[in-house]
């Protein structure tokens, strides 16, 4: 297992390098100039020399290969550079926001698992009953609603005494008060819970006809024991795969959720950075996102073996 | 039973927590929404409204503009004199207030550090620094008539071009036009009279010690002398200021602090305002303006602003650069009333006059362009393009952030009804400003904030020497504008600007579309909030009280 984890961790390095190259090429190829985004019409008041000096200061006047290699060298020293716009180191920008985005993602994932797995399991057990149909309709609706719309509806229903009942704050981070996290987590987790419910249901149904389930029942084990120890445990692998793959989706959802709920995470930083061509910030956040995605999927793979002893890694 | 009880307890706890969290507001602070997080809080390099909203409460200059009247009022200088020296140069003598202290905040203890004329000189010198990373170039540009300023900046620029490391201030070179007379008297001499120097040539005053002490952190830790002092900035979340306990005007500020809350979504801000979590609302979600005014009739306020929305013609290599009559036809085809009063629910004032804010002198040109499609058709025919025949497809550039305005749709329909073929190109700010200055663009969408109701604030930036993106200039107009800048007699000056305005509208280099309104909601417990027409960020929040 240790060898496997080490090998996978080593594989992360070339993957991140390839991602870095692609992202850098895309960022370089993006038309536009961060100086002109900020100055707008006022850029006409600067002389060409002043504009050139500003470009030199930012290092964006150099050829592609120089910028590419410099940035690569800096990145290997964990120096992600300095924001063109915010006059702050990218590592600080990310360092401040990443824990908040992860916090939100964790909240969303918790909601998704708490709703999704029981819904899928109950739906499978009560196959073709009204409960099954109701839960699957709920899953379909949850899957179809865009996050921004869910956010607005949730705020109107649960944060306003005018249009609903004000149980939760409308928005904000609230100095880390977990209470502020509940509504955005609910919104973020709903989509994923719908996916998990559907996958869990089909996995449960697939396992239901297996011989070891019949054997367990024939041995006289209690229904709940069969369900949890034999049925659910074997059905959970596909769910786990989906959860791992959906981390990227969760991160994307977090970016939208952060905007609606004034959550000071990475999403609030990357959107203006893209619009302002703030390449160091774009690079930093995208690379970090890729890294998080790779690590989460590694953890998912390890979890397979923990949950299913038949799976062994060489 | 136990399970039901547990669920009940959890739900009750949630409700109680919610109630506590939502109603937690017992301090005398202003809860002030901002829709864009400041990019930084460095007063020398600032050129953004989002930054100014915060910085204007922390920093002060020698003089200020009264937001309501646009008049110059004393700030750090309690008075000033204007005289002429032996060489006929204009001299401003500023008498500084005594007992003004720099903010004393955690981490930068400047206990009882009093502002003197040496500090003022230091700030002027930093403002003249040629490095755009140290000082925003507009500061030096606005001080260009100070004796020795241009030479000083040029020497710095030379060093910058040679790749030399630039000091903050050149120790071996003086600017003779900036003189410390004594601790509380500062003198500025101009090579030529410049009546706008007092309006835009005076930098805000920061603490030299804080600048040195903080280094890079000066970008996010502002320290001035204003009514509020910095407490913390949680990026994309909020900026917190507290009342300056040593502020030199007794009784001000009237609140204990301000929390600038950052909202990424206008709907969220509206909801928070509705729930009583904000004292103001400045940005209304699209399409909800009328509904919001109806919902909060007592909270709604509105002022005429100094921003102008317009369509500029590419006057150098655009397809209409030599089509004077066609440009006029385009102007007659813009139905501003329908666009702004009907579709945009009155968010702006239809610009039925000219290219200046209505409150500015000379704002009514001799020729105006009221919506008249028949007249537009006549002009097209006179230009040799009856029913648009023979006229090439016209490329109109739209800035992505404002491309969805109703005026675009209204104008498009009118132009197409005249037989004119239009190609709209939408771009964001990173490419827009370059491309509208190429032959790809015939017409472009733009806006400009005059800041104060003063013709020079529009013409000097968008017309003089062809600086605006229309790139149009004539010797006659340049001469008139240069004369007007120096003219001290208001009537003569207005006459000069009137001539320029008439020429611009006759030539039809821009189609004025709308004048801004500054609209906002404020809770009934708020008093003294007067943003005037210069923009919300100019409001002096020290005068605002919260009677909650």
Residue scoring higher pLDDT (A28 or B110): A28
Strand-pair category, B228-234 with B185-190: unpaired
Q: At what angle do helices A247-260 and A90-125 cross, to 10 degrees?
A: 110
pLDDT for A312 equals: 64
d(CA B502, CA B459): 12
Residues on chain A touching B236 (C-beta within 8 angstroms): 97, 262, 264-265, 268-269
Torsion of CA B229, B230, B236, B237, to 10 degrees: -80
Nearest CA in chain B to A169: B22
- B244: Cβ–Cβ under 8 A, 6 or more apart, which residues? B103, B225, B226, B227, B228, B229, B253
Per-block average pLDDT, block size 10, for chain A (314 residues)? 81 87 86 74 68 77 88 85 85 91 93 93 92 90 87 92 91 89 94 91 88 86 84 86 82 86 89 85 88 84 76 62
Sequence-distant contacts of A46-52: CB under 8 A, at least 24 apart: A46/B132, A46/B137, A49/B157, A49/B161, A50/B132, A50/B137
d(CA A149, CA A155): 10
Task: Please state whether the peptide bond connecting residue B253 to the residue before it is cis, i.e. omega within 30 degrees of 0.
Answer: yes
Nearest CB to A170 within list B137, B268, B431: B268
Residues on chain A touching B446 (C-beta within 8 angstroms): 41
Fold adopted by B60-220: Dipeptide-binding Protein; domain 1 (3.90.76)
Contact state of B433 with A43 under an 8 Å Cβ cutoff: yes
Tokens in use for A81? 């550079």
The number of C-beta contacts closer than 8 angstroms across A and B is: 157
Chain B interface includes A42 (CB < 8 A): yes
Contact state of B271 with A50 under an 8 Å Cβ cutoff: no
Among candidates B42, B61, B356, which has minimal Cα distance to B201? B61
Confidence of residue B109 (pLDDT cuts 50, 70, 90): confident
Among candidates A246, A254, A242, A239, which has minimal Cα distance to A285? A254
Nearest CB to B430 within list A37, A166, A172: A37
Nearest CA in chain B to A266: B236
d(CA B33, CA A310): 57
To test the contact with chain A by mutation, choose from B7, B15, B18 the residue with the greatest count of A C-beta atoms within 10 A, namely B18
Give the pLDDT mean for B95-110: 90
Q: Would you list the DSSP string of A150-185?
A: HHHHHHHHHS-TTTS---S-SS--GGG-GGGGHHHH
Name the CATH architecture for the domain at B305-517.
Roll (3.10)
Chain B interface includes A93 (CB < 8 A): yes
Chain B interface includes A39 (CB < 8 A): yes
Other C-beta atoms closer than 10 Å to the C-beta of B26 total 7
- A185: Cβ–Cβ under 8 A, 6 or more apart, which residues? A104, A107, A108, A110, A111
Type and span of the H or E element at B10: helix B2-23
Residues on chain A touching B277 (C-beta within 8 angstroms): 169-170
Contact state of A268 with B264 under an 8 Å Cβ cutoff: yes
pLDDT for B25 equals: 52
Q: Are A231 and A204 in contact (CB under 8 A)?
A: yes
Instruction: State chain B's mean pLDDT as an integer.
Output: 91
Confidence of residue B157 (pLDDT cuts 50, 70, 90): confident
d(CA B290, CA B296): 10
- What is the side-by-side order of every strand in the sheet holding B77-84? B77-84, B90-96, B185-190, B178-182
Tokens in use for B430? 């990173």
Write the pLDDT tens digit of every residue in B316-333: 999 999 999 999 999 999
To test the contact with chain A by mutation, choose from B50, B265, B312, B471 the residue with the greatest count of A C-beta atoms within 10 A, namely B265
Confidence of residue B19 (pLDDT cuts 50, 70, 90): very low
Q: What's the CATH number of domain B27-36+231-299+523-546, 3.40.190.10, 3.90.1300.10, 3.40.640.10, 3.40.250.10?
A: 3.40.190.10
Among candidates A5, A14, A102, A15, which has minimal Cα distance to A301? A5
Write the pLDDT tens digit of every residue in B386-433: 999 999 999 999 998 887 788 999 999 999 999 999 999 999 887 898
Nearest CA in chain B to A165: B15
Contact state of A269 with B235 under an 8 Å Cβ cutoff: yes
Distance from CA of A86 to the nearest CA of B (A): 5
Nearest CB to A96 within list B157, B235, B272: B235
Confidence of residue B17 (pLDDT cuts 50, 70, 90): very low
pLDDT for A313 equals: 60
Other C-beta atoms closer than 10 Å to the C-beta of B392 total 12
Helices (H), ranges, chain A = 2-29, 34-39, 48-58, 64-76, 90-125, 130-144, 147-158, 182-208, 211-218, 223-225, 233-245, 247-260, 266-275, 279-307
Nearest CB to A167 within list B18, B277, B430: B18
Domain limits, chain B: 27-36+231-299+523-546, 60-220, 305-517
Lowest mean pLDDT segment, chosen from A27-36, A79-88, B19-28, B82-91 = B19-28
Strand-pair category, B443-449 with B394-399: parallel
Could you check whether B27-36+231-299+523-546 and B305-517 share the same CATH topology? no
Tell me what percent of the residues of chain B surpass a pLDDT of 70. Answer: 95
Residue ranges and CATH numbers for the domains of chain A are: 16-76 (no CATH), 91-307 (1.10.3720.10)
Q: Would you list the DSSP string of B187-230?
A: EEEESS--TTHHHHSPPP---HHHHHHHGGGGGT----SSSEEE
Contact state of B40 with A269 under an 8 Å Cβ cutoff: no
């Amino acid at each position: 297992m240790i060898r496997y984890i080490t090998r996978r961790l080593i594989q992360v390095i070339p993957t991140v390098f390839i991602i870095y190259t692609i992202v850098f090429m895309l960022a370089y190829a993006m038309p536009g100039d961060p100086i002109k985004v900020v100055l707008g019409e006022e850029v006409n008041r600067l002389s060409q020399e002043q504009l050139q000096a500003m470009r030199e200061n930012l290092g964006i006047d150099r050829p592609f290969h120089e910028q590419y290699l410099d940035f690569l060298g800096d990145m290997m020293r964990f120096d992600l550079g300095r924001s063109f716009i915010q006059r702050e180191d990218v590592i600080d920008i990310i360092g401040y926001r990443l824990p908040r985005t992860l916090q939100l993602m964790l909240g969303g994932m918790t909601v998704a698992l708490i709703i999704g797995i029981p819904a899928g399991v109950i739906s499978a057990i009560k196959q073709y009953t009204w409960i099954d149909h109701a839960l699957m309709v709920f899953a379909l609706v949850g899957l179809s609603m865009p996050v921004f719309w869910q956010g607005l509806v949730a705020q109107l229903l649960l944060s306003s005494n005018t249009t609903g009942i004000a149980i939760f704050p409308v928005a904000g981070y609230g100095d880390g008060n977990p209470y502020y996290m509940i509504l955005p987590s609910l919104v973020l987790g709903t989509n994923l819970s719908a996916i998990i419910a559907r996958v869990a249901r089909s996995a449960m149904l697939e396992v239901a006809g297996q011989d070891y389930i019949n054997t367990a029942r024939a041995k006289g084990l209690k229904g709940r024991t069969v369900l949890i120890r034999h049925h659910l445990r074997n059905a959970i692998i596909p769910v786990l795969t989906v959860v791992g793959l959906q981390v990227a989706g969760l991160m994307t959802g977090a970016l939208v959720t952060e905007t609606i709920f004034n959550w000071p995470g990475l999403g609030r930083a990357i959107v203006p950075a893209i619009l302002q061509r703030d390449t160091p910030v774009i690079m930093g956040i995208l690379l970090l996102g890729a890294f998080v995605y790779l690590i989460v999927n590694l953890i998912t793979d390890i979890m397979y073996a923990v949950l299913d002893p038949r799976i062994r890694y060489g | 039973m136990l399970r039901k009880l547990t669920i009940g307890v959890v739900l009750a706890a949630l409700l109680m927590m919610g109630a506590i969290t939502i109603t937690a507001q017992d301090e005398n602070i202003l809860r002030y929404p901002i829709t864009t997080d400041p990019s930084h809080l460095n007063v020398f390099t600032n050129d953004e409204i989002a930054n100014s909203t915060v910085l204007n409460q922390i920093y002060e200059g020698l003089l200020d503009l009264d937001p309501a009247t646009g008049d110059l009022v004393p700030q750090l200088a309690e008075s000033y004199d204007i005289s002429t020296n032996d060489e006929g140069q204009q001299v401003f003598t500023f008498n500084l207030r005594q007992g003004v202290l720099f903010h004393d905040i955690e981490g930068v203890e400047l206990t009882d550090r009093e502002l003197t004329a040496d500090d003022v000189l230091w700030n002027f010198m930093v403002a003249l620094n040629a490095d755009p990373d140290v000082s925003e170039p507009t500061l030096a540009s606005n001080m260009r008539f100070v004796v020795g300023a241009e030479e000083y900046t040029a020497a710095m620029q030379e060093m910058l071009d040679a790749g030399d490391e630039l000091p903050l201030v050149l120790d071996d070179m003086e600017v003779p036009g900036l003189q410390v007379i004594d601790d509380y008297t500062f003198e500025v001499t101009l090579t030529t009279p410049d009546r706008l120097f007092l309006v835009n040539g005076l930098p805000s005053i920061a603490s030299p010690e804080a600048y040195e002490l903080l280094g890079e952190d000066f970008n996010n830790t502002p320290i001035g002398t204003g009514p509020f002092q910095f407490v913390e900035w949680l990026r994309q979340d909020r900026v917190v200021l507290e009342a300056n306990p040593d502020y030199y005007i007794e009784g001000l500020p009237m609140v204990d602090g301000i929390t600038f809350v950052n909202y990424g979504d206008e709907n969220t801000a509206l909801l928070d305002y509705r729930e009583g979590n904000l004292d103001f609302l400045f940005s209304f979600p699209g399409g909800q303006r009328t509904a919001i005014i109806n919902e909060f009739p007592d909270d709604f306020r509105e002022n005429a602003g100094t921003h102008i929305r317009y369509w500029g013609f590419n006057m150098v290599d655009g397809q209409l650069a030599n089509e004077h009559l066609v440009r006029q036809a385009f102007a007659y085809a813009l139905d501003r009333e329908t666009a702004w009063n009907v579709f945009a629910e009155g968010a702006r004032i239809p610009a039925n006059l000219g290219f200046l804010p209505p409150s500015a002198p000379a704002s009514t040109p001799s020729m105006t362009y009221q919506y008249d499609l028949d007249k537009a058709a006549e002009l097209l025919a006179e230009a040799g393009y009856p029913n648009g025949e023979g006229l090439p497809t016209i490329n109109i550039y739209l800035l992505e952030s404002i491309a969805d305005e109703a005026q675009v749709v209204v104008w498009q329909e009118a132009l197409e009804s005249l037989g004119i073929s239009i190609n709209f190109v939408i771009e964001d700010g990173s490419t827009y400003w370059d491309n509208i200055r190429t032959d790809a663009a015939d017409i472009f969408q733009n806006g400009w904030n005059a800041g104060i109701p003063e013709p020079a604030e529009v013409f000097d930036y968008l017309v003089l020497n062809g600086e605006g993106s229309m790139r149009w200039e004539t010797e006659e107009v340049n001469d008139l504008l240069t004369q007007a800048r120096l003219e001290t007699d208001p009537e003569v000056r207005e006459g000069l600007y009137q001539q320029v305005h008439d020429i611009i509208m006759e030539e039809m280099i821009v189609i004025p579309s709308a004048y801004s309104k500054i609209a906002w909601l404020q809770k009934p417990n708020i008093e003294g909030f007067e943003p005037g027409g210069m923009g919300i960020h100019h409001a002096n929040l020290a005068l605002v009280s919260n009677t909650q």
